[in-house]
Protein backbone atom coordinates (compact mmCIF):
# COMPACT_ATOMS: atom_id res chain seq x y z
CA UNK A 1 0.00 0.00 0.00
CA UNK A 2 2.81 2.39 0.83
CA UNK A 3 4.54 1.68 -2.48
CA UNK A 4 1.27 2.18 -4.39
CA UNK A 5 0.60 5.48 -2.66
CA UNK A 6 4.15 6.65 -3.36
CA UNK A 7 3.78 5.71 -7.05
CA UNK A 8 0.47 7.55 -7.29
CA UNK A 9 2.00 10.62 -5.66
CA UNK A 10 4.95 10.58 -8.09
CA UNK A 11 2.52 10.27 -11.01
CA UNK A 12 0.52 13.23 -9.75
CA UNK A 13 3.70 15.30 -9.35
CA UNK A 14 4.77 14.33 -12.87
CA UNK A 15 1.46 15.42 -14.42
CA UNK A 16 1.00 18.44 -12.19
CA UNK A 17 0.58 21.74 -13.98
CA UNK A 18 0.24 20.31 -17.51
CA UNK A 19 -2.00 22.59 -19.55
CA UNK A 20 -3.75 21.77 -22.88
CA UNK A 21 -1.05 23.81 -24.61
CA UNK A 22 1.66 21.65 -23.06
CA UNK A 23 -0.24 18.49 -24.01
CA UNK A 24 -0.26 19.70 -27.62
CA UNK A 25 3.45 20.48 -27.29
CA UNK A 26 4.27 16.99 -25.97
CA UNK A 27 2.20 15.31 -28.70
CA UNK A 28 3.82 17.35 -31.48
CA UNK A 29 7.30 16.95 -30.04
CA UNK A 30 6.89 13.16 -29.75
CA UNK A 31 5.55 12.70 -33.29
CA UNK A 32 8.35 14.77 -34.84
CA UNK A 33 10.99 13.04 -32.71
CA UNK A 34 9.87 9.64 -34.02
CA UNK A 35 10.77 10.72 -37.57
CA UNK A 36 14.33 9.51 -37.02
CA UNK A 37 13.51 5.94 -35.90
CA UNK A 38 10.90 5.80 -38.66
CA UNK A 39 13.70 6.67 -41.10
CA UNK A 40 15.60 3.57 -39.95
CA UNK A 41 12.49 1.47 -40.57
CA UNK A 42 12.00 2.95 -44.03
CA UNK A 43 15.64 2.39 -45.00
CA UNK A 44 15.33 -1.24 -43.90
CA UNK A 45 12.19 -1.70 -46.00
CA UNK A 46 13.87 -0.04 -48.98
CA UNK A 47 16.79 -2.47 -48.62
CA UNK A 48 14.37 -5.40 -48.64
CA UNK A 49 12.65 -4.10 -51.76
CA UNK A 50 15.88 -3.42 -53.63
CA UNK A 51 17.21 -6.87 -52.79
CA UNK A 52 14.12 -8.75 -53.93
CA UNK A 53 13.77 -6.63 -57.07
CA UNK A 54 17.42 -7.24 -57.91
CA UNK A 55 16.99 -11.00 -57.60
CA UNK A 56 13.94 -11.07 -59.90
CA UNK A 57 14.50 -11.57 -63.62
CA UNK A 58 11.96 -8.93 -64.57
CA UNK A 59 13.99 -6.34 -62.68
CA UNK A 60 16.36 -6.22 -65.68
CA UNK A 61 13.52 -6.06 -68.20
CA UNK A 62 12.22 -2.79 -69.67
CA UNK A 63 9.26 -2.97 -67.28
CA UNK A 64 8.31 0.47 -65.93
CA UNK A 65 7.74 0.71 -62.19
CA UNK A 66 5.01 2.85 -60.63
CA UNK A 67 6.06 6.41 -59.93
CA UNK A 68 5.62 5.94 -56.17
CA UNK A 69 7.95 2.94 -56.18
CA UNK A 70 10.57 4.74 -58.27
CA UNK A 71 10.45 7.76 -55.98
CA UNK A 72 10.60 5.62 -52.85
CA UNK A 73 13.50 3.42 -53.98
CA UNK A 74 15.75 5.93 -55.72
CA UNK A 75 15.26 9.42 -54.26
CA UNK A 76 14.12 9.16 -50.65
CA UNK A 77 16.82 6.70 -49.51
CA UNK A 78 19.63 8.94 -50.75
CA UNK A 79 18.38 11.92 -48.75
CA UNK A 80 17.57 9.83 -45.67
CA UNK A 81 20.96 8.09 -45.70
CA UNK A 82 22.72 11.47 -45.65
CA UNK A 83 20.53 12.96 -42.91
CA UNK A 84 20.50 9.85 -40.69
CA UNK A 85 24.27 9.51 -41.07
CA UNK A 86 24.70 13.15 -40.04
CA UNK A 87 22.79 12.74 -36.79
CA UNK A 88 24.25 9.31 -36.08
CA UNK A 89 27.75 10.76 -36.25
CA UNK A 90 26.66 13.68 -34.05
CA UNK A 91 25.30 11.17 -31.54
CA UNK A 92 28.52 9.15 -31.65
CA UNK A 93 30.57 12.28 -30.95
CA UNK A 94 28.19 13.27 -28.16
CA UNK A 95 28.33 9.89 -26.44
CA UNK A 96 32.15 9.96 -26.55
CA UNK A 97 32.79 13.58 -25.59
CA UNK A 98 29.52 14.79 -24.11
CA UNK A 99 29.48 17.75 -26.51
CA UNK A 100 26.47 18.60 -28.67
CA UNK A 101 25.62 21.45 -31.02
CA UNK A 102 22.84 23.68 -29.70
CA UNK A 103 20.88 26.54 -31.21
CA UNK A 104 21.24 28.78 -28.20
CA UNK A 105 23.33 31.93 -28.41
CA UNK A 106 26.15 31.47 -25.85
CA UNK A 107 26.72 35.24 -25.60
CA UNK A 108 23.13 35.89 -24.58
CA UNK A 109 22.04 35.37 -20.95
CA UNK A 110 18.49 34.52 -22.02
CA UNK A 111 17.45 31.34 -23.75
CA UNK A 112 17.28 32.90 -27.19
CA UNK A 113 17.74 30.91 -30.36
CA UNK A 114 20.07 31.93 -33.18
CA UNK A 115 17.80 32.60 -36.15
CA UNK A 116 20.04 31.20 -38.94
CA UNK A 117 20.42 27.94 -37.00
CA UNK A 118 16.69 27.89 -36.35
CA UNK A 119 16.04 28.21 -40.08
CA UNK A 120 18.44 25.32 -40.67
CA UNK A 121 16.53 23.24 -38.14
CA UNK A 122 13.28 24.06 -39.94
CA UNK A 123 14.76 22.95 -43.27
CA UNK A 124 16.09 19.69 -41.83
CA UNK A 125 12.80 18.93 -40.07
CA UNK A 126 10.70 19.62 -43.16
CA UNK A 127 13.03 17.52 -45.32
CA UNK A 128 12.78 14.62 -42.89
CA UNK A 129 9.00 14.93 -42.74
CA UNK A 130 8.56 15.02 -46.52
CA UNK A 131 10.93 12.09 -47.11
CA UNK A 132 9.37 9.93 -44.40
CA UNK A 133 5.84 10.80 -45.51
CA UNK A 134 6.49 10.02 -49.17
CA UNK A 135 8.46 6.92 -48.23
CA UNK A 136 5.68 5.51 -46.06
CA UNK A 137 3.06 6.27 -48.70
CA UNK A 138 5.09 4.69 -51.48
CA UNK A 139 6.09 1.63 -49.46
CA UNK A 140 2.50 0.98 -48.36
CA UNK A 141 1.30 1.38 -51.94
CA UNK A 142 3.65 -1.35 -53.18
CA UNK A 143 2.98 -3.60 -50.19
CA UNK A 144 6.30 -3.49 -48.37
CA UNK A 145 4.54 -3.79 -45.00
CA UNK A 146 2.37 -6.79 -45.87
CA UNK A 147 4.85 -9.35 -44.56
CA UNK A 148 5.51 -9.63 -40.82
CA UNK A 149 8.29 -12.19 -41.15
CA UNK A 150 11.85 -11.40 -40.17
CA UNK A 151 14.04 -10.38 -43.08
CA UNK A 152 15.83 -13.34 -44.74
CA UNK A 153 14.88 -15.54 -41.78
CA UNK A 154 17.87 -14.27 -39.79
CA UNK A 155 17.42 -13.02 -36.24
CA UNK A 156 19.86 -11.27 -33.94
CA UNK A 157 20.11 -12.03 -30.26
CA UNK A 158 17.84 -10.17 -27.86
CA UNK A 159 20.88 -8.54 -26.24
CA UNK A 160 22.08 -7.07 -29.55
CA UNK A 161 18.58 -5.77 -30.21
CA UNK A 162 18.46 -4.07 -26.83
CA UNK A 163 21.90 -2.51 -27.40
CA UNK A 164 20.67 -1.22 -30.76
CA UNK A 165 17.62 0.27 -29.01
CA UNK A 166 19.90 2.05 -26.53
CA UNK A 167 21.95 3.48 -29.39
CA UNK A 168 18.83 4.46 -31.32
CA UNK A 169 17.43 6.19 -28.24
CA UNK A 170 20.66 8.16 -27.87
CA UNK A 171 20.60 9.15 -31.56
CA UNK A 172 16.94 10.12 -31.29
CA UNK A 173 17.73 12.33 -28.29
CA UNK A 174 20.43 14.16 -30.26
CA UNK A 175 18.05 14.61 -33.20
CA UNK A 176 15.34 15.95 -30.89
CA UNK A 177 17.71 18.30 -29.07
CA UNK A 178 19.36 19.70 -32.19
CA UNK A 179 16.34 20.05 -34.49
CA UNK A 180 12.92 19.13 -33.10
CA UNK A 181 12.97 20.90 -29.73
CA UNK A 182 14.17 24.33 -30.99
CA UNK A 183 11.53 24.34 -33.75
CA UNK A 184 8.66 23.24 -31.52
CA UNK A 185 9.75 25.53 -28.68
CA UNK A 186 9.89 28.54 -30.97
CA UNK A 187 6.55 27.68 -32.62
CA UNK A 188 4.51 26.87 -29.50
CA UNK A 189 6.08 29.00 -26.75
CA UNK A 190 8.38 31.43 -28.58
CA UNK A 191 11.35 30.66 -26.31
CA UNK A 192 13.54 27.67 -25.53
CA UNK A 193 12.16 25.60 -22.65
CA UNK A 194 13.80 23.31 -20.16
CA UNK A 195 13.46 19.59 -20.78
CA UNK A 196 10.75 18.06 -18.60
CA UNK A 197 10.69 14.52 -17.28
CA UNK A 198 7.22 13.84 -18.69
CA UNK A 199 8.43 14.66 -22.21
CA UNK A 200 11.34 12.26 -21.89
CA UNK A 201 9.06 9.56 -20.55
CA UNK A 202 6.54 9.91 -23.40
CA UNK A 203 9.25 9.87 -26.08
CA UNK A 204 11.00 6.87 -24.50
CA UNK A 205 7.73 4.95 -24.22
CA UNK A 206 6.78 5.77 -27.83
CA UNK A 207 10.20 4.71 -29.11
CA UNK A 208 10.02 1.50 -27.09
CA UNK A 209 6.58 0.72 -28.54
CA UNK A 210 7.76 1.37 -32.09
CA UNK A 211 10.83 -0.78 -31.51
CA UNK A 212 8.77 -3.67 -30.15
CA UNK A 213 6.16 -3.40 -32.90
CA UNK A 214 8.43 -3.15 -35.96
CA UNK A 215 11.99 -1.98 -35.46
CA UNK A 216 13.41 -4.88 -33.42
CA UNK A 217 13.11 -7.25 -36.39
CA UNK A 218 12.70 -5.20 -39.56
CA UNK A 219 15.65 -2.86 -39.01
CA UNK A 220 18.03 -5.83 -39.09
CA UNK A 221 17.65 -5.85 -42.88
CA UNK A 222 20.21 -3.05 -42.95
CA UNK A 223 22.96 -5.38 -41.71
CA UNK A 224 21.65 -8.74 -42.94
CA UNK A 225 21.36 -7.38 -46.48
CA UNK A 226 25.11 -7.04 -46.93
CA UNK A 227 25.80 -10.45 -45.39
CA UNK A 228 23.24 -12.14 -47.65
CA UNK A 229 24.65 -10.52 -50.77
CA UNK A 230 28.21 -11.51 -49.88
CA UNK A 231 27.13 -15.14 -49.45
CA UNK A 232 25.42 -15.07 -52.85
CA UNK A 233 28.40 -13.30 -54.49
CA UNK A 234 26.22 -10.32 -55.41
CA UNK A 235 27.44 -6.76 -55.74
CA UNK A 236 26.95 -4.62 -52.63
CA UNK A 237 25.78 -1.12 -53.43
CA UNK A 238 27.04 1.99 -51.71
CA UNK A 239 23.62 2.64 -50.16
CA UNK A 240 23.52 -0.89 -48.73
CA UNK A 241 26.99 -0.48 -47.27
CA UNK A 242 25.91 2.81 -45.69
CA UNK A 243 22.88 1.05 -44.19
CA UNK A 244 25.14 -1.67 -42.76
CA UNK A 245 27.44 1.03 -41.38
CA UNK A 246 24.52 2.93 -39.81
CA UNK A 247 23.26 -0.18 -38.04
CA UNK A 248 26.68 -1.03 -36.62
CA UNK A 249 27.33 2.61 -35.70
CA UNK A 250 24.07 2.67 -33.75
CA UNK A 251 25.03 -0.55 -31.97
CA UNK A 252 28.42 0.99 -31.16
CA UNK A 253 26.70 4.07 -29.72
CA UNK A 254 24.56 1.78 -27.57
CA UNK A 255 27.59 -0.18 -26.36
CA UNK A 256 29.48 3.01 -25.44
CA UNK A 257 26.40 4.33 -23.63
CA UNK A 258 26.00 1.09 -21.65
CA UNK A 259 29.71 0.92 -20.78
CA UNK A 260 29.77 4.56 -19.64
CA UNK A 261 26.69 3.95 -17.54
CA UNK A 262 28.30 0.93 -15.87
CA UNK A 263 31.47 2.92 -15.22
CA UNK A 264 29.47 5.76 -13.66
CA UNK A 265 27.57 3.31 -11.46
CA UNK A 266 30.82 1.65 -10.36
CA UNK A 267 32.36 5.06 -9.62
CA UNK A 268 29.39 6.11 -7.50
CA UNK A 269 29.46 2.77 -5.67
CA UNK A 270 33.19 3.06 -4.92
CA UNK A 271 32.83 6.69 -3.83
CA UNK A 272 30.04 5.81 -1.41
CA UNK A 273 31.97 2.79 -0.15
CA UNK A 274 35.09 4.89 0.48
CA UNK A 275 32.98 7.56 2.16
CA UNK A 276 31.41 4.95 4.41
CA UNK A 277 34.81 3.45 5.29
CA UNK A 278 36.24 6.89 6.08
CA UNK A 279 33.25 7.66 8.27
CA UNK A 280 33.68 4.40 10.19
CA UNK A 281 37.41 5.05 10.65
CA UNK A 282 36.72 8.54 12.01
CA UNK A 283 34.19 7.11 14.43
CA UNK A 284 36.69 4.51 15.64
CA UNK A 285 39.36 7.20 16.16
CA UNK A 286 36.89 9.32 18.15
CA UNK A 287 35.99 6.31 20.30
CA UNK A 288 39.64 5.58 21.04
CA UNK A 289 40.19 9.16 22.10
**Domain count for the chain:** 1
Report the alpha-carbon distance of residue 85 to residue 82 in Å, rounded.
5
Report the alpha-carbon distance of residue 258 to residue 49 in Å, rounded.
33
pLDDT at position 256? 93
Residue 228 belongs to what domain range?
A: 19-261
pTM given for the model: 0.81
Report the alpha-carbon distance of residue 234 to residue 253 in Å, rounded.
29
Is 220 among the domain residues?
A: yes
User: Which of 250, 220, 180, 227 is CA-nearest to residue 41?
Assistant: 220
User: Can you give the pLDDT of all 289 residues of the chain as single tens digits?
Assistant: 455 655 555 555 555 667 788 888 999 999 999 999 999 988 888 877 777 766 664 344 444 555 555 655 667 788 899 999 999 999 999 898 877 666 555 555 445 555 777 888 899 999 999 888 877 776 776 666 655 544 555 567 788 889 999 999 999 999 999 999 989 988 888 777 777 788 888 999 999 999 988 888 888 888 887 777 777 777 777 888 898 999 999 999 999 999 988 888 888 888 877 667 666 556 655 555 5
Is 62 among the domain residues?
A: yes
Residue 274: burial class (beta carbons within 10 Å; 0-12, 13-18, 19+): exposed
pLDDT at position 39? 92
pLDDT at position 158? 81
pLDDT at position 44? 86
Is 279 among the domain residues?
A: no
Is 117 among the domain residues?
A: yes
Cβ 180 vs Cβ 26: under 8 Å: no
Is 123 among the domain residues?
A: yes
Is 164 among the domain residues?
A: yes
Phi-psi region at 107: left, alpha or beta (left = phi > 0; alpha = psi -120 to 50): alpha
Number of Cβ within a 10 Å radius of residue 142? 16
pLDDT at position 245? 92
Is 4 among the domain residues?
A: no
pLDDT at position 194? 76
CA torsion through residues 201, 95, 157, 210, sign: positive
Is 25 among the domain residues?
A: yes
Amino acid sequence: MVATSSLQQKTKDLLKGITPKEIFYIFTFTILTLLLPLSFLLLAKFSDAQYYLQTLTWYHSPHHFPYALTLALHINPLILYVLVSLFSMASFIHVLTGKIITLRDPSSPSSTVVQPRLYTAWILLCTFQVCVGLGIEGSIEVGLYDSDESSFGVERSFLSRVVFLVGLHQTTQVWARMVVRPVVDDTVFGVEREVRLVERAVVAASLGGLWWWRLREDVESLVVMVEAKKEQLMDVRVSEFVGWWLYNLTVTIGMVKVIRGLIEMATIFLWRRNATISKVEHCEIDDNL
